[in-house]
Homo-oligomer: A and B are copies of this chain.
């Protein structure tokens, strides 16, 4: 079976205990502290408390593949932990320092950062003292095609001058956000995938302006998804990651694990929604029958169980493939889970909303908020259609030379 290891199982138990003892009970406290906050982009005390506790329990940086910085779990070991965290998505990932996009940024800085980057940005990130953003998507173009990117990064002596506008820069509204990794074009005349570069830019660099927050279906997320303008921002050449023209390659490297994390968290969301659906169906009666006894609701429950289990197996399979054969070989399966997991979770959560009646769309249950964020995942890191296109092209390639049989 696609199973984690003994070590993985042990981490699951410890994480589960942390969830049961501290995280679930903290959910109501969190709601209260946020309701009383002066701004939606507020860091509530309960989260700092949870972070301290997670760190003391050794449930910290669980995502990090490098032994130096965390337990060094494999993707197959970490994936079930991401699912567990996903069940309480506002708290558990940040509490364990495993939240996006910091995780991806920490990986990139570990792999491609200079000593200075590691000292200045990576360490405080790994300690949970600061947060970071990833500025890639742009409002004016379809960013799923990297060649569309319009931000210019013009070399001038020892510096690059950045001009452009980014959005969906998650974390940029977080009070602790200090640094951005920014993708732009250093050379539009280069080969398609050598035009882009990535740079490390402090969020308070002159010319960087966090213009506004983007809502997600009415929600102002705490960490924020910001629109950020770059007006003649000067970045020293030493802050180019890996080298000029390496932007696309880095983005490919960072995507694999990040997608597995997203997918497993989505599965956690779906599992919790299914649990809520089942309990609600047991507790409501219409026309003399419990909802849980109605065959249409039973079909929804069964379909949800089936779809969740299939999505989990595929994601675990992708994790295992990445562990064994690397990002490149796993690429096609990762494209598959990127399509499967959010769509599956959206269906499950939507059914749960329906079973909850009017309450399902409100703040009284986590369902509407979960749905809204899952919906974004069908667009983030490329819309479904871009991934399906890649999967299809891979399939077509298999038979291109062999149309005989």
Contact B145 A287 (CB under 8 A): yes
Considering only CB atoms and an 8 Å cut-off, how many residues of chain A contact the other chain? 94
Point out the residues of chain B lying under 8 angstroms from A148, CB to CB: 285-286
**When chains A and B are docked, how far (Å) is the Cα of A313 from the Cα of B392?**
20
Among B301, B353, B371, the residue within 8 A (CB) of A392 is B301
Contact A314 B320 (CB under 8 A): no
Point out the residues of chain B lying under 8 angstroms from A372, CB to CB: 217-218, 361, 368, 372
A56: interface (CB < 8 Å):
no
Contact B215 A362 (CB under 8 A): yes
Interface string of A285-308 (1 = CB under 8 A from B): 111000110111111011101100
A193: interface (CB < 8 Å):
no
Identical subunits present: 4
A49 to chain B, nearest CB (A): 21
Contact B292 A396 (CB under 8 A): yes
> Of A61-69, A237-245, A377-385, which binds chain B?
A377-385
A26: interface (CB < 8 Å):
no
Point out the residues of chain B lying under 8 angstroms from A120, CB to CB: none
> Of A92-100, A181-189, A246-254, A274-282, which binds chain B?
A274-282
**When chains A and B are docked, how far (Å) is the Cα of A29 from the Cα of B219?**
22
**When chains A and B are docked, how far (Å) is the Cα of A368 from the Cα of B215?**
10
A376: interface (CB < 8 Å):
yes
Contact A361 B392 (CB under 8 A): no
> Of A108-116, A136-144, A156-164, A258-266, which binds chain B?
A136-144
Point out the residues of chain B lying under 8 angstroms from A386, CB to CB: 286
Contact B142 A278 (CB under 8 A): no
A317: interface (CB < 8 Å):
yes
Among B216, B314, B383, the residue within 8 A (CB) of A218 is B216
> Of A77-85, A121-129, A200-208, A397-405, which binds chain B?
A397-405
A220: interface (CB < 8 Å):
yes
A167: interface (CB < 8 Å):
yes
A173: interface (CB < 8 Å):
no
Contact A340 B310 (CB under 8 A): yes
A191: interface (CB < 8 Å):
no
A290 to chain B, nearest CB (A): 10
Point out the residues of chain B lying under 8 angstroms from A379, CB to CB: 353-354, 357-358, 360-361
Point out the residues of chain B lying under 8 angstroms from A150, CB to CB: none
A177: interface (CB < 8 Å):
no
Point out the residues of chain B lying under 8 angstroms from A371, CB to CB: 217
A46: interface (CB < 8 Å):
no
A2: interface (CB < 8 Å):
yes
Interface string of A308-330 (1 = CB under 8 A from B): 01110110010011001000000
Among B143, B215, B389, B405, the residue within 8 A (CB) of A298 is B389
Point out the residues of chain B lying under 8 angstroms from A7, CB to CB: none
A250 to chain B, nearest CB (A): 21
**When chains A and B are docked, how far (Å) is the Cα of A218 from the Cα of B302?**
29
Give the nearest-CB partner of A319 in chain B: B1
**When chains A and B are docked, how far (Å) is the Cα of A383 from the Cα of B361?**
13
Contact A274 B395 (CB under 8 A): yes
A residues bordering B, Cβ < 8 Å? Answer: 1-2, 24, 137, 139, 141-145, 148, 167-168, 214-220, 274-275, 278-279, 281-287, 291-292, 294-299, 301-303, 305-306, 309-311, 313-314, 317, 320-321, 324, 333, 336, 339-340, 353-354, 357-364, 368-369, 371-372, 375-376, 378-380, 383-393, 395-396, 398-400, 403, 405
Could you pull out 18 A-B pairs where Cβ atoms are within 8 angstroms? A142-B357, A214-B364, A216-B362, A278-B395, A292-B396, A295-B296, A298-B388, A298-B393, A298-B396, A299-B392, A301-B391, A309-B317, A313-B314, A354-B385, A357-B383, A358-B380, A361-B379, A372-B372
